[in-house]
Structure 1
Amino acid sequence: MKIKLRHLLPAFIFFFTSIVSAQNFVGLTMDNYSGVNGVIINPSAVVDSNFRTDINLFSMSSFLGSDYYSIDLNAALESEDGFSFGNSIKTSATNQNQFFLNVDVLGPSFMFNLNPKSSLAVTTRVRTFLNFNNVNGMIYEDMEDGFNSEEDYSFELKDFSSTVHAWGELGLTYGRILMDTDSNFLKAGLTVKYLQGAGATFIHSPQATGQYEAQTELLTTSGTLSYGGAVGFDSDDIDFNDLTSGFGADFGMTYEYRPDNGLEEEKGHSDYKFRLGLSVTDLGSISYESTVTTYDLDETVDANRFDQEGFRTVLEQEYEGTEEMKDTKISLPTALHVMGDYNISKHFYVSVQGNLSLVSADAEHANRIINTVAATPRFESKWFSFYLPVSMRQYDGLAMGAGFRLGPLMVGSGSLISNVLGDSAKTTDIYAGLKIPIYR
Structure 2
Amino acid sequence: MRKIVLLAFSILSTATFAQEHFSGISTSRRVGLLNAKLNPAELVNMESKYEVNVFNFSANVANNKMTFGDLVGGNDNFEEMLFAGSEPLNFRGDIEILGPAFGYKVDKWAFGITSSAKIRVSFVDVNTTLGNAVTNGGIDNISEVYEVLSGENQRASGTSWGEIGLSIAREVYDSEEHRISAGATFKLLFPGTYANMGVSKFEGTIENNAGNVTLTGASASVNFAYSGSLAGDFSDSNNFTEFFAGGLNGFSTDIGINYQWKAIDSTKYRINAGLAIRNLGSMTFKDDNNESTNYELSIQGNQSLNLNQFEGAKSIQDVENILLTSGFLTMEQAGSDFKVKLPAVLSTYADVNIYDNWYATAYLQQRMNEDNDNDQIAVQNILSITPRFSTKYFEAFAPIANNEVSGFTAGIGFRLGGFFIGSGSILSAAIGDTNQADAYFGFRTSF
Q: Into which bin does the TM-score normalised by the smaller protein fall?
A: 0.7 to 0.9
Instruction: Report the counterpart of residue 226 of structure 1 in structure 2.
Output: 223
Which of 242, 250, 255 in structure 1 is aligned with 2:254? 250
Q: Secondary structure at the match of 1:51?
A: coil
Asked if the contact 1:160/1:205 (under 8 Å) is kept, the reply is: yes
Moved more, 409-418 or 288-297: 288-297
Instruction: Report the counterpart of residue 378 of structure 2 in structure 1.
Output: 368
Q: Secondary structure at the match of 2:427?
A: helix
Cα displacement (A) at 1:291: 1.1
Using a 3 Å threshold, how does the CA distance of structure 1 residues 292 and 305 change in structure 2: closer, same or farther?
A: same
State how far apart, in whole Å, the 2-side matches of 1:369 and 1:44 are: 23
Identity %: 22
Q: Which segments of 5 or more consecutive residues in structure 2 lack a partner in the other structure? A: none
Task: Name the TM-score, length of structure 1 as normaliser.
Answer: 0.88
Instruction: Report the counterpart of residue 305 of structure 1 in structure 2.
Output: 309
Which of 138, 154, 157 in structure 1 is aligned with 2:150? 157
Alignment of 1:264-343 (within 5 A): 264=265, 267-268=266-267, 271-289=268-286, 290-299=290-299, 300-309=304-313, 311-318=319-326, 319-322=328-331, 324-343=334-353
Which of 35, 45, 49 in structure 2 is aligned with 1:52? 49
Cα displacement (A) at 1:47: 0.6
State how far apart, in whole Å, the 2-side matches of 1:298 and 1:321 are: 8
Could you list the per-position Cα deviations for residues 381-423 of structure 1 after superposition, in whole angstroms to 9, with x for gaps in the alignment? Answer: 2211111111111122211000011123111111011112212
Instruction: Report the counterpart of residue 202 of structure 1 in structure 2.
Output: 196
Letter in 2 for 1:298: S
Instruction: Report the counterpart of residue 107 of structure 1 in structure 2.
Output: 99
User: How many residues are matched?
Assistant: 419
Asked if the contact 1:71/1:90 (under 8 Å) is kept, the reply is: no
Cα displacement (A) at 1:354: 0.7
Tell whether 2:441 aligns with 1:432: yes
Instruction: Report the counterpart of residue 134 of structure 2 in structure 1.
Output: 143
Tell whether 2:400 aligns with 1:409: no
State how far apart, in whole Å, the 2-side matches of 1:58 and 1:309 are: 36
Instruction: Report the counterpart of residue 80 of structure 1 in structure 2.
Output: none
Q: Secondary structure at the match of 2:167?
A: strand
Asked if the contact 2:12/2:60 (under 8 Å) is kept, the reply is: no
Q: Secondary structure at the match of 1:47?
A: helix
Cα displacement (A) at 1:125: 0.7
Tell whether 2:124 aligns with 1:133: yes
Tell whether 2:75 aligns with 1:85: yes
Tell whether 2:15 aligns with 1:15: yes
State how far apart, in whole Å, the 2-side matches of 1:365 and 1:22 are: 21
Q: Which segments of 5 or more consecutive residues in structure 1 lack a partner in the other structure? A: 78-82
Asked if the contact 1:333/1:367 (under 8 Å) is kept, the reply is: yes
Could you list the per-position Cα deviations for residues 35-57 of structure 1 after superposition, in whole angstroms to 9, with x for gaps in the alignment? Answer: 11111111011113212211111
State how far apart, in whole Å, the 2-side matches of 1:259 and 1:108 are: 33
State how far apart, in whole Å, the 2-side matches of 1:180 and 1:306 are: 63
State how far apart, in whole Å, the 2-side matches of 1:12 and 1:327 are: 28
Using a 3 Å threshold, how does the CA distance of structure 1 residues 307 and 84 change in structure 2: closer, same or farther?
A: closer
Could you list the per-position Cα deviations for residues 354-390 of structure 1 after superposition, in whole angstroms to 9, with x for gaps in the alignment? Answer: 1111112322301132111111011112211111111
Letter in 2 for 1:153: Y
Instruction: Report the counterpart of residue 30 of structure 1 in structure 2.
Output: 27
State how far apart, in whole Å, the 1-side matches of 2:38 and 2:196 are: 27
Alignment of 1:338-357 (within 5 A): 338-357=348-367
Cα displacement (A) at 1:135: 0.8
Letter in 2 for 1:182: E
Task: Name the TM-score, length of structure 2 as normaliser.
Answer: 0.86
Q: Secondary structure at the match of 2:135?
A: helix
Q: Secondary structure at the match of 1:69?
A: coil
Using a 3 Å threshold, how does the CA distance of structure 1 residues 231 and 105 change in structure 2: closer, same or farther?
A: closer
Which of 22, 29, 36 in structure 2 is aligned with 1:39? 36
